[in-house]
Chain A
Amino acid sequence: MDQKKLMLYQNMLFIRRFEEKLTELCKIEGKLPGMVILCTGQEAVAAGVCGALEKEDVIISNHRSHGHLLAKGADANALMAEIFGKVTGCNKGKSGTLHIAAPEVNALCTTTVVGGGIPIAVGTAFAQQYKKSESVTVCFFGDGSADEGSFHESLNMAALWDLPVIFVCENNVYSGAQRMEEHTKVKDIATRAQGYGMPGVVVDGNDAEAVLKATEEARRRCLAGEGPTLIECKTYRWRGHGEADHQAYQPKDEIAMWMERCPIKKIEKELLSEGVITREDITALEDSITIIVEDAVRFAEESPLPDPLEALDDVYI
């Protein structure tokens, strides 16, 4: 378990530093095209869920995808280059930050259409069941996405057919500028699971180990043919919806309160007090992460933009 816990810590720290770099780059006018949407503060969900998965397990992600992709093992250079719109990016610059897919690590579909990924997860899980493969699908989506019709149709069908899918609702309190209580009457999205005939679990989304455990249990159920689970991870979005968002609607003390509950600091403290790591280990880890992130930025910056005519490629096979 110590090793697993250490891995959770490493993965979270990596996601944090990768995205802090993006925050920095966003401040340089003209550096990054388009929107940049970060998961800062929510790393425990990505790391905890993906920590329970095997390589052949599939993830379906949403607009806030960097953490999911990195935790699933996507290449940092290719990810960074895609965010820069470079031809060496995971998706050759066609996607940009909003819908990055990394099929090589089974991050098969990322969609920025809110709720758009949930029915797709039903399909990938159906294929897994159909092929009798020992793998599952995880679908990441936000609290706001549970307001879309697609959520309800998909959970019903997945439960009906006992599909091996784990619905991970990353409840970061906000859907755009709307607080949870401004967009839905229910306190816990997880309670909706009952209406579709599957377990609904609420976990502390800032506790990577708790997320990991809940995902392991859901995965076990999937593989035992017991069907889907809805896991609601309660967490918080430290930054705005995107980097252009000034967070006027987010109370400062609320942000501060959640920053106190930093998922990375929490696990770091535990690892230190349990004697799993030392301060020196942390420094060494930070240094190695800095190198990887700097390398990724250099790779992205030195990579060429796509040739305009490449716009015509990849529409069909």
Chain B
Amino acid sequence: MQQITMGQAIQQALAEEMRRDDSVFLAGEGIGVGIHESPVMPTFGLLREFGPARVKDTPVSEAAIAGLAVGASVMGLRPVVEVMFNPFFTLASDQIVNHAAKLRYLSGGKSSFPLVVRVKTGAGFGAGCQHSHNLEAWVAHCPGLKVVMPGTAADAKGLLKAAIRDDNPVIFIEDMGLFFFPSPVPEGDYTIPIGVADIKKPGRDVTVVTWSKMLGVAFKAAAALGQEGIDVEILDLRTLLPLDKEAVIKSVQKTGRLVVLHEATRTGGFGGEVAALAAEEAFSYLKAPVKRVTAPDIPVPFSPPLEKFYIPNENQLIEAVKSIVV
């Protein structure tokens, strides 16, 4: 199997979908000619292959970029637009939250908006809080959207293809921390269904529900805990909306313990939703309180020791697991 990074996997998904379907086009800031021309960036080489009619470099105009996607999609095109960094999503949010998510409903089901908004995210780059801010819980709070957040390159490719083929608006959130490290990715065409979580590591004693970059943290903690005889099950949500409730409940029924791990801040984070699900629908199976491992409730600070403090790590996860596994 090919060993490629998540950036390259996304690039393959985009290129393959564009070859397959003429109605797919891309728009965003610096997606054609960017500041950093690097093969690990998701839109590398696409302008060269598909030309400026299908790969649209846009002005710095997030509201118009998002609106472009809404309008073009209702006309039957399949836009894949990019929001450079998650915090700039706020500028695009009117078109996404008030329009993409609601216009089908408002049309009484007559219209559809098959668009994808790719959003780059993640702390760890020393860029500070106006470039790094994981806002997935915001979008997951908008019925009418689907929210996908892959944690591996292989998942990213299959999920992005599914997102492009989906007839609903999909917010596809990519952690840049995953762009640079190669992992095995199947060649050619395949899709991974949206709304289906994946057990990345089966285990007996405790369920760790996570997504995106934190998957790596979960694996590190699971390896260390395994040494001490604690068998961790890692459930990668992959999609936040629609949430694969059954997968969460089933895993909790099996292990009886749940820790939710995410990079976003704690209060109002999506971890609360997962915890509530366990409390409502698997309460009698729980042998211990549900724990969350998250960033503290602060903006992402700049200085390296502060930013390191912000990002959840395997030690915190290990501690949380041990606090409920006796």
Flag whether B60 is at the interface (Cβ < 8 A).
yes
Knowing A245-B35, A311-B298 touch, does A33 contact B306 (C-beta < 8 A)? no
Question: Which of chain B's residues have a CB closer than 8 A to the CB of A111?
Answer: 130
Bound: A49/B275 CA distance, A: 54
- Contact pattern, B 95-130, Cβ under 8 Å of A = 1, otherwise 0: 000000000000000000000000000000111101
A64 at interface (Cβ–Cβ under 8 A)? Answer: no
Q: Are A175 and B309 in contact (CB under 8 A)?
A: no
In the complex, the answer to whether A311 meets B296 with C-beta atoms within 8 Å is yes
In the complex, residue of chain B having the shortest beta-carbon distance to the beta carbon of A112: B130
Interface flags for B57-69 (1: CB within 8 Å of A; 0: not) read 1011111100000
Q: Are B36 and A306 in contact (CB under 8 A)?
A: no
A241 touches B35 (CB 8 A): yes
Cβ-neighbour of A315 out of B60, B63, B297 (below 8 A): B297
Let me know if A259 is at the binding interface, CB within 8 A.
Answer: no
User: How big is chain A's contact interface, by range?
Assistant: 35 or more
Query: Taking CB as reference atom, which chain A residue is nearest B126?
Result: A34
A183's partner among B34, B60, B298 (CB-CB below 8 A) is B60
Which residues on the B side are within 8 Å of A145 (C-beta)?
60
Interface residue A72 (Cβ < 8 Å from any Cβ of B): no
Distance of A305 Cα from B302 Cα, bound (Å): 11
B304 beta carbon closer than 8 Å to chain A: yes
Asked if residues B59 and A183 are in contact (CB atoms below 8 Å), the reply is yes
Looking at chain B's contact residues, the main secondary structure is loop
User: A149 CA to B92 CA in the complex, in Å?
Assistant: 11
- Inter-chain contact B309/A244, CB cutoff 8 Å: no
| CB atoms of B33 and A85 under 8 A apart | no
B305 lies within 8 A of chain A by Cβ: yes
Task: Decide: A114 and B130 in contact? CB cutoff 8 A.
Answer: no
* Cβ-closest chain A residue relative to B30: A176
Contact B60 A311, beta carbon cutoff 8 Å:
no
Q: Is the CB of B33 within 8 A of A177?
A: yes
Q: Could you tell me how many residues of chain B have their Cβ less than 8 Å away from some Cβ of chain A?
A: 36
Q: How far is the CB of B211 from chain A (nearest CB, A)?
A: 24
A176 to B305 alpha-carbon distance, docked (Å): 29
Q: Which residues of chain B are near A178, meaning CB under 8 Å?
A: 30, 33, 57, 59
The interface residues of chain B lying within 8 Å CB-to-CB of A309 are: 309
A115 to B59, CA, bound (A): 12
Partner of B57, one of A115, A182, A241, A307: A182
8 pairs of A and B residues whose beta carbons are closest in the complex: A34-B126, A93-B303, A96-B302, A85-B303, A147-B59, A308-B309, A33-B126, A311-B306
Sample 30 A-B pairs with CB under 8 A, ordered by A number. Answer: A33-B302, A35-B127, A85-B126, A85-B306, A86-B303, A94-B299, A94-B302, A98-B127, A98-B130, A98-B131, A115-B60, A115-B91, A147-B59, A149-B61, A175-B59, A176-B30, A178-B57, A182-B57, A183-B59, A241-B35, A245-B36, A249-B33, A305-B304, A305-B305, A308-B306, A309-B309, A311-B298, A311-B310, A315-B297, A315-B299
A98-B127, A306-B306, A310-B306 known, 18 other contacts, Cβ within 8 Å:
A33-B126, A33-B302, A33-B304, A35-B127, A85-B302, A87-B303, A94-B128, A94-B301, A99-B128, A111-B130, A116-B130, A147-B60, A149-B64, A176-B60, A177-B35, A245-B35, A305-B303, A305-B304
